Amino acid sequence: MTRTAFFISDGTGITAESLGRSLLAQFENVDIRMVTKPYVDSVDKARQLAEVIEATAVRDGATPIIIDTIVDEQIRDVIRDAAGFKIDIFSTFLKPLEEELATHSSYSVGRTHAIGSDDVYMDRIHSVHFALDNDDGARTHQYDKADVILIGVSRCGKTPTSLYLALQFGIRAANYPLTEDDLDEDGILKLPKALAPHRHKLFGLTIDPRRLAAIRHERRPNSRYSSMDQCLQEISQAEGLYRQLHIPFIDTTRFSVEEISTRMIAERGLMRRFSPR
């Protein structure tokens, strides 16, 4: 039986969806269809959604799960009357906090994901621009301004991790690809000259060769670049370099970009310029 979960908000829905997905991820044996409904910011929209929820209950033959961060009491009352198992995040947590802090919540829509401080917003923008400008070894002369420099073979996850670090934490992340141009005369991978002065900032990424071959095959099918032999060789050389120079590294095969980033922050002791959104 499929259960449907609705993540409902009168704002972006990011908070409801993030918490909802985290909770529901613990139930691996249940088939859950997840539906996000942002900007339910009027009673009319709430009533329309309530009808959808009722129809979903009939279709599924099971009660939908409703996880919401609705601030407006009238809108919340409409959703509360819909046929569903409800987790009202704000009423569950804000009321006890109001009692503990001896003050009332502002009950404002969208405060979590608003721009907020101009300094924080500009830090985010500058960090993303830095990641884009320093992607794939583009501007090695800016490495003195980097908080971390990701290294690894092509298609092992350097770019998405760099952008995630920038967007979520304001970390200035550059990345540099390890290629055959970095092999010495004996076929051993050596540290590129551009990276040598910044060894203390390096963090390596690696990946299962079979996974790497599959990713590369989507980009360049039936090529030397995507062959298993080539992927095995490159990964072996990269990991050998990491171990030789004591460069910390992580296998990205089974980790999400969120996990890769937070593990890297913890291991490198990187300073977050702001908390994730």
The single-letter code of the amino acid at 168 is Q
The pLDDT of residue 186 is 86
Annotated binding site for ADP: 152-159
Q: What is the pLDDT of residues 218-264, one digit of tens each?
A: 999 999 999 999 999 999 999 999 999 999 999 999 999 999 999 99
On average, the pLDDT of the chain sits at 90
For 223-232, give one letter per residue: b (16+ CB within 10 A) or e: eebbeeebbe
- Secondary structure element (H or E) that encloses residue 85, with its range: strand 85-88
Say whether pLDDT at 80 is over 60: yes
Say whether pLDDT at 13 is over 90: no
Say whether pLDDT at 108 is over 60: no
- 251 close to 241: Cβ distance less than 8 angstroms: no
Residue recorded with tokens 């800016």: 142
Confidence bin at 113 (pLDDT 50/70/90): very low
Query: Nearest Cα to 213, choosing from 233, 196, 188, 189?
Result: 233
Which CATH number is 118-268's, of 3.30.470, 1.10.3470, 3.40.50, 3.10.20? Answer: 3.40.50
Say whether pLDDT at 276 is over 80: no
What average pLDDT does this structure show over 80-100? Answer: 85
Alpha carbons 47 and 154: distance in angstroms, whole number = 50
The pLDDT of residue 115 is 44
Residue recorded with tokens 């009491």: 73
Q: What is the pLDDT of residues 160-215, one digit of tens each?
A: 999 999 988 999 999 999 999 999 888 899 999 999 999 999 999 999 999 999 99
The pLDDT of residue 150 is 98
